[in-house]
Structure 1
């Protein structure tokens, strides 16, 4: 399956990685939230406190500090006129296949919080301050993911009702979704694509495995650039 720039009015997409594939296939999408159920936010707080305690500096921190602090605060980050959502109280899906592909291919482990935890533990190890992580926070045995090479995965979500989705700002999604369904048939493909980049939604209820299709993602180019191309293979 090649890049899809439009929306069929019913399917949604979730980008993740092979690290979380078995769990989702076993329990459905949204039954487990790794950020909270697997203590990743608490682990991020612990690791960042270690960074600050030892007053460690590193280029990776300079690049990621603002988003790390926004994730710890579970708030928003203003960036070049955009408001970026760093809340992780639920699982998010997108009406844009391309947006989900961008997330899956940009994030090397399929979770923003896990990726930030790995950045921090790598910085601590590099500085000779390998942390003694409390067992209750290390649910995933995080050190093993420093060596595991994950592959991006995309999940096509079907059968989800509008009432089971809310916008990133917490408002109901139904009105926006119906507006998109009414307007999209008359819009040029490039305009559809642009509109879809801001159509992300939080699931209010888990989606059963029967309503999910799983795809391995291969890609070329950089997801940040126009040369980005991705290809989906059903798994």
Structure 2
């Protein structure tokens, strides 16, 4: 039993990239808002709009449009799938954090999908693609860095600072976690409303 009665009694994890590790260990997890710094959502939305209006019949768009459209609209589906970005998302499942870190080269699902969309548009309209994402944009320096997946372990997170991944109170989710197998915890994630300081973070990989 955790002696800190108002903290989560089990470790939480966050998957990211070595690209942002120095910033995280100096400013804390969430100390730098990538969305505010690099504005990927604004550029991403412009590309999605172009595909919707001009290339909706293309195979790449047909395969990816659902996720792309949900991401730019910051949506939470009726089924509970979260497409909101900019928050600090934590998982009680190490495997979930590892999967996220390994499947998002740039440590951010939003940036990773934006780059995929940019590359797709570049094949059709290279000048327009570079107009949206200029060659001197600071995000290009970030994505040019050789990166590796990083998993962070976070201990003693205050319950007061957490909601569910869908933005709801956590009590019902915590009760559910007491009764269900840990294998199912991968669907039960959290969002922190506060920056998590470096002293609460351990780099696992």
TM-score normalised by L of structure 1? 0.72
Bigger relative contact order, structure 1 or 2 (CA pairs below 8 A, ≥6 apart): 2
8 Å CA contact 1:17, 1:153 repeated in 2: yes
1:209 to 180, 195, 198: 198
SS of equivalent to 2:204: strand
Higher mean C-alpha displacement, 32-41 vs 45-54:
45-54
Q: Distance in 1 between matches of 2:123 and 2:97?
A: 32
SS of equivalent to 1:23: helix
8 Å CA contact 1:163, 1:173 repeated in 2: no
TM-score normalised by L of structure 2? 0.82
Q: Distance in 2 between matches of 1:102 and 1:15?
A: 8
1:31 corresponding residue in structure 2: 31
2:139 corresponding residue in structure 1: 140
Q: Distance in 1 between matches of 2:200 and 2:111?
A: 26
8 Å CA contact 1:39, 1:138 repeated in 2: no
Higher mean C-alpha displacement, 196-205 vs 56-65:
56-65
SS of equivalent to 1:83: coil
2:166 corresponding residue in structure 1: 169
Say whether 1:87 aligns with 2:95: no
Stretches of structure 2 lacking an aligned partner (at least 5 in a row): 1-7
**Change in 2 beyond 3 A, CA 1:172/1:125:** same
8 Å CA contact 2:93, 2:186 repeated in 1: yes
8 Å CA contact 2:38, 2:138 repeated in 1: yes
Shift of 1:72: 0.8
Q: Distance in 2 between matches of 1:140 and 1:177?
A: 38
Q: Distance in 2 between matches of 1:62 and 1:148?
A: 31
Higher mean C-alpha displacement, 89-98 vs 101-110:
101-110
8 Å CA contact 1:93, 1:203 repeated in 2: yes
Higher mean C-alpha displacement, 68-77 vs 166-175:
166-175
Shift of 1:96: 0.9
Q: Which has the higher strand share?
A: 1
Q: Which has the higher helix share?
A: 2
1:219 corresponding residue in structure 2: none
Say whether 1:193 aligns with 2:162: no
Higher mean C-alpha displacement, 8-17 vs 204-213:
8-17
**Change in 2 beyond 3 A, CA 1:72/1:20:** same
Higher mean C-alpha displacement, 204-213 vs 25-34:
25-34
Shift of 1:157: 0.9
8 Å CA contact 2:29, 2:197 repeated in 1: yes
RMSD: 2.7
